[in-house]
Amino acid sequence: MQRASPEASPSPYHLRISRLTVDKLGVKLYDKASAVVAELIANGYDADAETVRVRLPLNIQLASKAGGQLADLGYVIEVEDDGHGMTPEEAINFYLRVGADRRTRVGQDGSRSRKKKRPVMGRKGIGKLAPFGICRRIEVWSAGGAKTAKGYAVTHFFMDFEKIVTDEDDSVPLEVGSDDRTWSKTTGTRIRLTSFLAKRVPDLDTFLRQLAVRFTFAKPDFKILIADAMNDRAKPVKVNPLDIPLLPGSKIDLSSRPVIADDGTALQVSGWLGMAKEAYKNEEMMGVRIYARGKIAGVTRDFNQPAGFTGEFAMRSYLVGQVEAEWLDLDHGDDLVRTDRQDILWDSDYGQLLRRWGAELIKEIARISREPRRVRVRDEFMRKSRIEDRAKERFGDKQVARVAIELAKKFGGFAAEDELDDDVYVEDLSQIILSVAPHQALMEAFHEFTNQVTKGEASLDQMLDIFNKAQIAELASYAQIASQRVRVIKDLQQIIDVSMDESQFQALIAKAPWLIEPSWTVITRNQSLKNFKHAFERFWKKQHGTDVSLAIGYEDKRPDFTLVTIDGLLHIVEIKKAGHAFDDLDFDRLINYVDAFGKFFEENRETVAEFYREWRIDLVADGEKLKKSSNQHAYRGLEKEGRVKRVSWRDFLTRAKKVHEQFLDVHDLGNEKRQGKPS
């Protein structure tokens, strides 16, 4: 079959692109007022502007959305520059074309600005539509071209989102403004945004920071001024580069640190890297900002390193910098900057080179900042713990206080940076230091006394000093026990008053068995409990054919009972939900366990030998509602025999507080003794 030559007739196949592409590929990338304004500022920069003035309402919601309905509040954002502007013809031929590369397209100014020959920031032509990310109507007014006797030609038109973004592929006729084809005495462009979405403009300081991070401000002949439309008396404020205080000795100048390509080519980089003196206070100061052509290309906190690298927490929390790499946005070649300018394409060839280069610099910064970071962490711990004041207040013996402060400085320098915002962590570390300090001071005093004895110069005063420090050390230990147990009681109060969580209570009992029967004796989960647990669980399975779970520590699975042994008595603790009264159903279940424990103790003398006071079921339940007389009689008998003891949650807490008054007394006594006060 003979086929027609492709040149014989025009092709019937034509590619059409829906105008919905504008919404999908461009507009949705800009959802912050600062990002939108930054795109308009960049257009002014590319048009050789020296001043861009932004007037907008600050610290305000641009539209309301009550009941799901968007309501315009009449606000206006205006961005005006004194650049070379554009004529109606330039607007039609160039400005109103989206997606074409302005740097390489014939008839445009190319990669350099028209007069000042600045490397232009724009490329894809999408930035002009960025305002549609926050509003639905854009007014464009511009005057440019050659100067005539009448002045400069004015172009004036409106772009409406709803008219542009439809599922059609033809061009969009735009509304013409009243000033179109008139003349202006000066050049420049003014963009006015109206009909907003429910977006928020932040306060002035935040907005200034958000704009500051988007540009390098490398050109002295370019400035940005911000005016609050809500305050006519307020003077315009200039946007200045961010000032981030750095950790001394951590800054690296990048001008002599090029990125080396695989073929040995040196890709020049400028800017700096370092460690922030303090953890980031706002998101604008986070990480390393990467720039190309003076405009933000992306932000990274680790140069895209995989998790788990050395010093990861410190780097992600404190690494800051400004990397300027023009080769990330070359006129010819791949565009490595994402349209939203949130990051670069790390998997590209240049992206991988930058990642490798950054990894080496991270290691270097981690090394040179190690000691300054340690000093910072130490100082932060000393400040948050107030250890100096607390040591001087707690210890009347100046030497003990001095040792406590020295220990705090040593321990504090190695504290976990990411834990210093945790008050519990700081307090626990402080208590350890304050508890160890008297013992360390005692050791130092004893060592000094030994040296003096060797020299034959020992004195009675030194001997008395040692005894005094020994007593302080002993009281410090008691005080530590007291403070820890008082904290547990506070946890218990929280559980009862707030959550009423049985599993939390179970965990607390496992951690602090002395709550059941307070004692000065140190309690541990011994092997006898483990043996009893496993033996009884097997015994119950054999007798009843069902499983029973006994806990001697906190377990994810809710146990039937928690086991605690104190002074030869095995406490079998069962916890009912707060507010629940012990009823007949509970008793029918409990009596089976009473029989089983009794039988087990009779048949397994070897296993239960250490429990010489035998066993008791401690029942935590709020009240008793036994209706069956047989159950009432049996329950009273078990109470008289000491096999069952019930206590309400409230009584349990009251008893715990009361029996720990002795601990509190010791704690206060320890304070007085350590401060040198008479007891």
pLDDT beyond 90 at 474: no
pLDDT beyond 50 at 520: no
Q: Do 562 and 511 meet the contact criterion of CB atoms below 8 Å apart?
A: no
pLDDT at 109: 61
**Could you tell me the CA-to-CA distances from 614 to 55, 523, 572, 640 in Å, in that order?**
83, 18, 11, 15
Choice between 486 and 49, residue whose per-residue pLDDT is larger: 49
Query: Letter for the amino acid at 21?
Result: T
Query: What digits encode the pLDDT tens for the residues 392-439?
Result: 887 777 888 888 888 889 888 888 777 888 888 888 888 888 888 877
- pLDDT class for 521, splitting at 50, 70, 90? very low
pLDDT at 675: 54
Query: What digits encode the pLDDT tens for the residues 623-653?
Result: 899 999 999 999 999 999 999 999 887 787 7
Q: Do 52 and 80 meet the contact criterion of CB atoms below 8 Å apart?
A: yes
pLDDT beyond 50 at 384: yes
Mean pLDDT over 593-617 rounds to 90
pLDDT at 523: 38
What angle in degrees, to the nearest 10, is found between the helix axes of 649-659 and 661-674?
Answer: 30
Domains of the chain and any CATH numbers: 20-238 (3.30.565.10), 252-368 (3.30.230), 373-490 (no CATH), 500-647 (no CATH)
Q: How far apart are CA 492 and CA 502, in angstroms?
A: 11
Q: Helix, strand, or coil here: 60?
A: strand
pLDDT at 367: 86
pLDDT at 522: 40
Query: What digits encode the pLDDT tens for the residues 347-368?
Result: 888 889 999 999 999 889 888 8
pLDDT at 220: 87
Task: Return the exposure string of 442-467: e unless at least 16 CB atoms fall within 10 Å of the residue's CB, then b.
Answer: beebeeebeeeeeeeeeeeeeeebee
pLDDT beyond 60 at 252: yes
Q: Do 113 and 48 meet the contact criterion of CB atoms below 8 Å apart?
A: yes
Query: What digits encode the pLDDT tens for the residues 444-471?
Result: 776 776 776 677 665 656 656 666 666 6
pLDDT at 239: 95
Q: How many CB atoms lie within 10 A of CB 320?
A: 24
What proportion of the chain, given as a percentage, has pLDDT over 90? 33
pLDDT beyond 80 at 272: yes
Q: By mean pLDDT, which of 104-108, 148-152, 300-304, 323-327 is the weakest?
A: 104-108
pLDDT beyond 70 at 139: yes
Residue in 343, 329, 328, 354 with CA at minimum distance from that of residue 260: 354
pLDDT at 524: 41
**Against a cut of 0.75, is the pTM above it?**
no
pLDDT beyond 90 at 184: yes
- pLDDT class for 488, splitting at 50, 70, 90? low
Residue in 94, 85, 191 with CA at minimum distance from that of residue 140: 191
pLDDT at 506: 66
Residue in 538, 458, 555 with CA at minimum distance from that of residue 503: 555
Give every CB contact of residue 522 below 8 A, 6+ residues apart in sequence: none
Residue in 267, 277, 302 with CA at minimum distance from that of residue 288: 302
Q: By mean pLDDT, which of 159-163, 248-252, 305-309 is the weakest?
A: 305-309
**What's the chain's average pLDDT?**
81
